[in-house]
Amino acid sequence: MKRLHALLLATWMAAICLPLRGAAQPASVPTYHGHSDRSGNFVVPGLTWEKARSLRSDRGFNAAVSGHVYAQPLYWRAPGSSSGMLLVATEQNKVHALDAGTGRELWQRAVGKPVARSALGCGNIDPLGITGTPVIDPAGEALYLDAMVESASGPRHRIFGLSLNDGAVLPGWPVDVTQALEARRQSFNARDHNQRSALTILDGAVYVAFGGHFGDCGQYHGWVLGVSLKDPQKLTSWATRGRGGGIWAPGGISSDGRSLFVATGNTLSVTSWADGVLARARRDRRRSRRHQSHSARSAGGGRHAKGRPRARQGPPRLSARSQ
C-alpha cells in the first residue's frame, strides 16, 4: 500500500481542493488540470498570499492506495454534498474513492489484473495498469478511464465507465479497444500501445488517446478513440498513417469546446508528413476541408439544408490538420 499523505501530490491536492476556514466551497476538478483546455488555472476561494504562507501538510488526512500513481487525482463534490471525494487511479488497476477531508476510503474498484512489464516488448512501467488521468462526467456522475488489463488473449486496453456513487461498472462498459476497432476493420495491437494521456469529454463522448511504450517497440500508432457516453457501441477513431507518432503528453487531448487538439511525436520510417499535431471533430463530408477544420458546427452536429438540427448518431468523425 502506498501512503498517499506521504506524497507531495497529496499536499497539493489538499491545498487545491479542501475549503479554507470561512471560504466558499471549491469547485470540482473533473479532468486533468481542472479544465479541458488544460490551462491549469485553479481558483481557490479565499486563498490569499498571506494564507498560502501558513499552508501545511494536514496530518489529519491519512489515506492509502494500492500501486503507483501516474494519473492526476481528481476531485468531485456532488451538488448539495457537504464533503468532497478524491478519486485516485493506480497502476494496480484500482480506483480509490477517498473522503477529501480525512482520507477515509469510501469505495474501491479493481478493473482487472495489470500487465507485467515482461509481457510487453518494451516499457518502463511495471506493472502497467491505469496510467492516463481519468475524466469525470458531472452530468452523469460517472468516471471514465482506460486500463491495460491482462486477459486470456494477452494484454488488452479496456475503457471503463464507473458510477461515482459506488464505483460500479456502468451498463455497456467496458469497451475492449481491440475488439471495437476490429469490428470497424481496423487493427489495434494493444500490447504495443500505452495510454499515458488524460481523457477528455466533448459533446457526449469520451475521447482516449494512445501512443507507444518507452523504447518505441512494436507496431504502434498515435490513436484517438471517441466513445459515446450514452451508447458505448457507437465510436469514432483516428490514427497516424506513419508508424509511431504517438500521443505521449500527460495532458493528452485538449479542447476549446469545439475541437480536439493532440500533439504527436516519434513518427518512424517516414519521408513525408504522416499525420500529427492536432485532430478535429467533424461530421459533414459535403463541406470543404477548410470549413471542416475551422467551423464550430463541424464539431457540434451541423444542420440540414432546411435548417433543422441534425440528429446526433454518436461521436463525430475525426480528421487531422497540421499547424
Phi, psi torsion values for 174, nearest 5 degrees: -85, 170
SS3 111: coil
Identity of residue 210: F
Q: How many CB atoms lie within 10 A of CB 166?
A: 10
> Domain segments of the chain: what residues?
2-241
Instruction: List, as one string, the DSSP characters of 16-67.
Output: HHSPPTTPPPPPPB-SGGGSTT-------TT--HHHHHT----TT---EESS
Q: What is the pLDDT of residue 263?
A: 86
C-alpha distances in Å from residue 169, one per residue of 50, 90, 221: 44, 17, 29
Q: What is the DSSP string of 196-257?
A: -SPPEEETTEEEEEEB--TT--SS-B-EEEEEESS-TT-EEEEE-SSEEEE---TT--EESS
- Grid cell of 278 as nine digits: 492536432
C-alpha span between 195 and 114 (Å, rounded): 13
* Residue range 2-241, CATH number: 2.140.10.10
Q: Find all residues with CB under 8 Å of 271, minimum gap 6, and list them.
A: none
Q: Rounded to two decimals, what is the model's pTM?
A: 0.83
Contacts of 22 (CB under 8 A, 6+ apart): 46
Cβ neighbours of 272 (radius 10 Å): 6
Across 281-296, b (16+ Cβ under 10 Å) vs e yields: bbbbeeeeeeebbebe
Backbone φ, ψ for residue 189 (5° rounding): -90, 100
Backbone angles phi, psi at 26, to 5 degrees: -75, 160
**C-alpha closest to that of 201 among 162, 276, 143:** 143
pLDDT by 10-residue block (mean), the chain, 323 residues? 50 46 64 92 81 87 95 93 93 97 96 97 97 97 98 97 98 98 95 97 96 95 95 93 88 90 84 58 39 30 34 60 53
Question: What is the rounded radius of gyration, in angstroms, for the C-alpha atoms of the chain?
Answer: 20
Residue 213 CA to residue 233 CA, distance in Å, equals: 28
Q: Residues 6 or more apart from 318 whose CB is under 8 A from it? A: 224, 226, 236, 237, 238, 260, 279, 280, 281, 282
* Listed residue (172, 170, 119) closest to 148, CA to CA: 119
Nearest to 78 by CA among 11, 142, 170, 134: 142
Q: Which residue has the cell 499515458?
A: 196
| Separation of alpha carbons 76 and 83, rounded Å | 9
